[in-house]
Amino acid sequence: MVSFCRQQQLFLAAHPWTDTAKAVWRETWQRLQAGQLTWTRVEYTSRNKAHKPPAERPTYRVCEIAHTLKDAQALQGHRTLRWVFVWSSDKAVQDARQRTEAVQAGEAALKRVKTLLGKYDYVSRKTIKARIDQALHKAKASAYFTYALTGTDENQAWQLCWKRRHDVMEDDAGFDGVALLCTNAPHQRLSSGEAMIKYKEQVYVEQTIDFLKSPVQIRPMWLHTPKRLPGLTLLIMVATLVAALLEYQVRRRIAKTGQVVKGLQPEGRDDPYPTAKSILRAFQDYALVILQRGKGHAQVRHPKLRPVQRKIWNIIGLPPLPS
pLDDT tens for each residue of the chain, 323 residues long: 999 999 999 999 999 999 999 999 999 999 999 999 999 999 999 888 888 999 999 999 999 999 999 998 888 889 999 999 999 999 999 999 999 999 999 999 999 999 999 999 899 999 999 999 999 999 999 999 999 999 999 999 999 999 999 999 999 999 999 999 999 999 999 999 999 999 998 887 887 777 777 666 666 667 788 888 888 888 888 888 888 899 999 999 998 998 888 888 877 778 888 988 889 889 988 888 888 877 778 888 888 999 899 999 999 888 988 87
Residues 308 and 248 in one domain: yes
Residues 219 and 155 in one domain: no
The answer to whether residue 272 is domain-embedded is: yes
**What is residue 220's predicted lDDT score, i.e. its pLDDT?**
63
Q: Which domain holds residue 67?
A: 2-91+174-206
Residues 149 and 277 in one domain: no
**What is residue 222's predicted lDDT score, i.e. its pLDDT?**
73
**What is residue 1's predicted lDDT score, i.e. its pLDDT?**
92
**What is residue 263's predicted lDDT score, i.e. its pLDDT?**
85
Residues 200 and 243 in one domain: no
**What is residue 229's predicted lDDT score, i.e. its pLDDT?**
81
Please give the Cα distance from 321 to 323 (Å, whole number).
Answer: 6
The answer to whether residue 312 is domain-embedded is: yes
The answer to whether residue 118 is domain-embedded is: yes
Residues 220 and 279 in one domain: yes
Q: How far is CA 198 from the centre of its chain?
A: 14
Total structural domains within the chain: 3
The answer to whether residue 129 is domain-embedded is: yes
The answer to whether residue 323 is domain-embedded is: no
| Residue ranges of E strands in the chain | 12-14, 40-42, 60-70, 78-88, 145-150, 159-164, 178-183, 289-292, 298-301
Per-residue burial over 218-243, b if 16 or more Cβ lie within 10 Å, else e, is: eeeeeeeeeeeeeeeeeeeeebbeeb
Please give the angle made by the CA atoms of 36, 37 and 42, to the nearest 5 degrees: 160
| CA-only gyration radius of the chain, Å | 29
Residues 195 and 223 in one domain: no
Residues 231 and 282 in one domain: yes
Q: Which amino acid is at 31?
A: R
Helix axes 192-200 and 202-213, enclosed angle (nearest 10): 20
Residues 249 and 101 in one domain: no
Residues 231 and 286 in one domain: yes
Residues 224 and 303 in one domain: yes
**What is residue 98's predicted lDDT score, i.e. its pLDDT?**
97
Please give the Cα distance from 251 to 151 (Å, whole number).
Answer: 69
Per-residue burial over 103-140, b if 16 or more Cβ lie within 10 Å, else e, is: bebbbebbeebbeebeeeebeeeeebeebbeebbeebe
